[in-house]
Amino acid sequence: MDRGSYAAAAGMLSGQKAINVLAQNVANVTTAGYKSQSTVQSTFAEYMASRMSTNPKIAQADIGAGAYITINAEQFIDFTQGGFEKTNRSVDMAIQGQGFFVVQNANFGQVLTRNGQFELNVQGFLILPGVGQVLNTAGQPIQLAGSDFKVEPDGTIVQNGADVTMLNIATVVNEQDLMPVGEGFFQATNGFQAAQPLTFSIFQGVIEASNVDMSNEMSNMIARQNNFTSCSQMLKIFDKISEIASNTIGRVG
């Protein structure tokens, strides 16, 4: 396969990955606390240079500058805060400012999320449906005596006039180190720590909406699909050229 065919095929692969990420964003446009994701593309030479050496002169000498194949070098998550939607449900909460709720997940352990669309199960535990139990600052599940309670801005939960527990609001040094392990919740690969006071406020009776911009996602989807189609047509053309060349050479002499 010649270099043109490799470039077209690589364009299709990277384009398909980008389309899959865009489709995931569109599917989660109504998921509370969901954060938009995107792919970051680079040339094969740039990617290999970053993997082989921090010195671009050394890497370029080994690879050369003639690699035109594109790849998805990484995936970027936009942690910009979404808008607030009022629900008037006592179990719904949103974080304004820094931080994530901490939830105990059966498969991934303690995970972080901005999705505060909670429920109370039959045992009275505060849960994020499909994810796990919401944890307090002691790392324990939060259990309440019914849905009649108040949440203070600092995360303190007050029930029957007494402070019952406090929500565990966590932060990380670099948000891009967070690894998505589900729809809107993440594993902290380098650990997390308690959010500092006054860097966040908890609102009760509201949820943070997804920060997905639907119009932007749809325009990007159309552009990516057009690019995928173009690469597909190019691959067919290169394949036809190779076929003609092979047949012509076979008839020589």
pLDDT digits (tens, 9 = 90+) for 100-156: 999 999 999 999 999 999 999 999 999 999 999 999 999 999 999 999 999 999 999
Neighbour-count burial of 71, counting CB atoms closer than 10 A to its CB (0-12 exposed, 13-18 middle, 19+ buried): buried
pLDDT averaged over the chain?
A: 83
Over residues 43-92, the pLDDT tens digits come to 555 554 455 555 555 545 444 444 455 555 567 889 999 999 999 999 99
Tokens (6 digits) for 179: 């690894």
2 — pLDDT class (breaks 50, 70, 90): low
* CA–CA separation, 206 and 204 (whole Å): 6
More confident call, 150 vs 244: 150
Return the exposure string of 91-114: e unless at least 16 CB atoms fall within 10 Å of the residue's CB, then b. bbbbbeebbbbbbbbeebebbbbb
200-204 vs 193-194, strand pairing mode:
unpaired
